[in-house]
Structure 1
Amino acid sequence: MKEITVKELKKLKDEGADFQLIDVREPNEAEIAAIDGELIPMNSVPQNVEKFSKDKQVVVHCRSGKRSGDVISWLEANHGYENLYNLKGGILAWADEIDPNMMKY
């Protein structure tokens, strides 16, 4: 599985790169802390596969990287995706390395 670090993600955001950021956490988690990803909770991914682009880099994240990794593995195995990147360490890594003022949970 391909991964991207929070520093690499910040660079993509800062440069205005054309990529998709998807958050697979639950809505209540996104209310606590968010990095502007499109919210598609893990349990709704099978009904929302078409929302994941196949034409550009897609970064998938969750709290720590476990759920997003599971989502990526499922999409790759069942839908042939090859452009998905797991955010290493998830939003916790973002809070630790990029935004220390972000609330952690």
Structure 2
Amino acid sequence: MTIEEILKSGNYHLIDVRQPEELEMDGKIEGAVNIPLATVPLKVEEIKEIQGPKIIFCRSGGRSGQACQFLTINGLTDIYNGGGYMELQEVLEQVK
């Protein structure tokens, strides 16, 4: 599935791996849970409990890629790299 298809389905969870101060500077996506990249290893079990596709994003897509790779190695299969915050925000607006 593509990010657009997942967003259109309405069945997804957004995980923002930026630092909290980045959210304050750049803005947030409503409904996204903030789990900074450095804490992802500590939150694997919590993330596994989230039902449905999980779209991971950050400022540019690099950290979200790292988070997706780590989570995949740790057994998650419904993980998608949403890329950068601004790009994901644009896609969300388009699918509304």
Seq. identity, %:
33
* 1:70 matched residue in structure 2: 66
Q: In 2 relative to 1, CA 83–96 (structure 1 residues): closer, same or farther, beyond 3 Å?
A: closer
With structure 2 as the length reference, what TM-score do the two structures score?
0.77
Q: Distance in 2 between matches of 1:19 and 1:98?
A: 12
Q: Aligned-residue CA RMSD in angstroms?
A: 2.6
Among candidates 53, 59, 64, match of residue 57 of structure 1: 53
- So what's the TM-score if we normalise by structure 1? 0.71
5+ long unaligned stretches in structure 1: 100-105
Q: Decide whether the 8 Å contact of 1:24 with 1:60 is kept in 2.
A: yes
Gap change, CA 1:17 and 1:50, over 3 Å in 2: same
Which blocks of at least 5 consecutive residues in structure 2 are unaligned? none
The corresponding residue for 2:34 is 39
Structure with larger RCO (C-alpha < 8 A, sep 6+): 1
2:72 is paired with a residue of what secondary structure? helix
Counterpart pick for 2:86 among 88, 92, 97: 92
Shift of 1:30: 1.0
Q: How many residues align?
A: 90
Q: Please identify which structure carries the higher helix content.
A: 2
Aligned residue for 2:22, secondary structure, equals: helix
